[in-house]
C-alpha cells in the first residue's frame, strides 16, 4: 500500500478510529495490559501513535515508528501535548528495521501484516528484533455488514486495499502461515470486530 494513502489519512486517522471506538478502545486496554512494566517496546506501523502513548506509562522506553512521515508527525504532536518523555520517533521499514536481533522486549505491529503481498517477510523481521513478545492487533473486515461494511467501503474509495481480508477463523490460519505459531488470540467484539494475537519467543527461536 502506497505511503501517500497513509499520508492522506494522517489528519483524520484518529477521527476515523472513533467509528469503531468500543472495539478500538478495548484493544488499547488489552495491549496496555500485556506490556510488562519497564520493558523496551518497538511499535512498527504505529500510525498516529495511539498504542505507543497508551503504554508509555508502563514501558521503560518506546520507539514509535511508521513509514508515513505525516503519521509520525501527528504522533509526535500528541506525545508533546501529553508531555510524554519516554517515546522516541523514527521512520522505519517494517521489512528491514536495521535494528539488531532481540533489540526490544516487546514488538507491536497493529493492523498491518494483512496489507502486504508478502506478510511472512515482515513477520520474520518482527520476530527477529523481538526479545520476548510480539503483539499483533488486527481488525476483522471480511464479510462485514451494516455500518462496519460502510466504513470500510468508504476507506476503499480513498485507496485502502488490504491483500488479505480476515475474520476470526482466517486470522487463526493466517498467523501460523506467516510464522507465528502457537499464538494466544484475544477476541474483541465490535462494529468492526478485532483481535489481539500474542506470540511469545522461545529460547530456540
- Residue 121: is it exposed, middle or buried by C-beta count within 10 angstroms (0-12/13-18/19+)? middle
Q: For residue 85, what is its C-alpha cell?
A: 518523555
Mean pLDDT by groups of 10 residues along the chain of 205 residues = 71 80 95 98 97 97 96 96 97 97 98 96 98 97 80 71 91 97 96 96 75
pLDDT score at 147? 74
CATH architecture for the domain at 3-180: 3-Layer(aba) Sandwich (3.40)
Q: For residue 40, what is its C-alpha cell?
A: 523496551
User: What percentage of the chain exceeds 90 in pLDDT?
Assistant: 77
Residue in 6, 14, 7, 23 with CA at minimum distance from that of residue 81: 14
Query: What count of residues does the chain have?
Result: 205
Q: How far apart are CA 34 and CA 43, in angstroms?
A: 14
For residue 146, give the H/E element and its range.
helix 146-157
Domain spans of the chain? 3-180
pLDDT score at 202? 85
pLDDT score at 1? 44
Global confidence as pTM:
0.92
Residue 59 phi, psi (nearest 5) = -75, 155
Asked whether the beta carbons of 194 and 17 are under 8 A apart, the reply is no
pLDDT in tens, 98-149: 999 999 999 999 999 999 999 999 999 999 999 999 999 999 999 878 877 7
The residues with which 184 forms a beta bridge, in sequence order, are: 198
Q: For residue 88, what is its C-alpha cell?
A: 522516541
Amino acid at each position: 500500500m502506497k505511503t501517500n494513502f497513509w499520508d492522506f489519512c494522517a489528519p483524520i486517522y484518529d477521527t476515523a478510529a472513533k467509528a469503531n471506538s468500543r472495539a478500538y478502545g478495548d484493544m488499547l486496554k488489552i495491549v496496555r495490559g500485556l506490556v510488562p512494566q519497564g520493558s523496551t517496546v518497538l511499535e512498527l506501523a504505529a500510525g498516529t501513535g495511539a498504542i505507543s502513548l497508551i503504554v508509555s506509562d508502563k514501558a521503560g522506553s518506546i520507539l514509535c515508528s511508521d513509514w508515513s512521515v505525516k503519521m509520525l508527525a501527528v504522533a509526535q504532536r500528541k506525545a508533546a501535548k501529553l508531555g510524554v518523555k519516554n517515546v522516541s520517533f523514527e521512520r522505519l521499514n517494517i521489512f528491514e528495521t536495521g535494528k539488531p536481533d532481540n533489540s526490544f522486549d516487546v514488538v507491536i505491529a497493529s493492523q498491518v501484516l494483512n496489507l502486504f503481498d508478502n506478510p511472512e517477510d515482515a513477520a520474520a523481521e518482527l520476530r527477529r528484533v523481538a526479545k520476548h513478545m510480539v503483539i499483533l492487533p488486527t481488525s476483522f473486515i471480511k464479510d462485514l455488514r451494516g455500518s462496519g461494511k460502510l466504513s470500510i467501503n468508504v476507506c476503499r474509495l480513498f485507496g485502502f486495499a488490504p491483500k488479505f481480508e480476515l475474520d476470526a477463523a482466517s486470522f487463526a490460519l493466517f498467523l501460523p502461515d506467516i510464522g507465528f505459531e502457537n499464538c494466544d488470540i484475544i477476541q474483541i467484539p465490535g462494529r468492526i470486530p478485532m483481535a489481539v494475537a500474542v506470540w511469545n519467543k522461545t529460547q530456540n527461536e
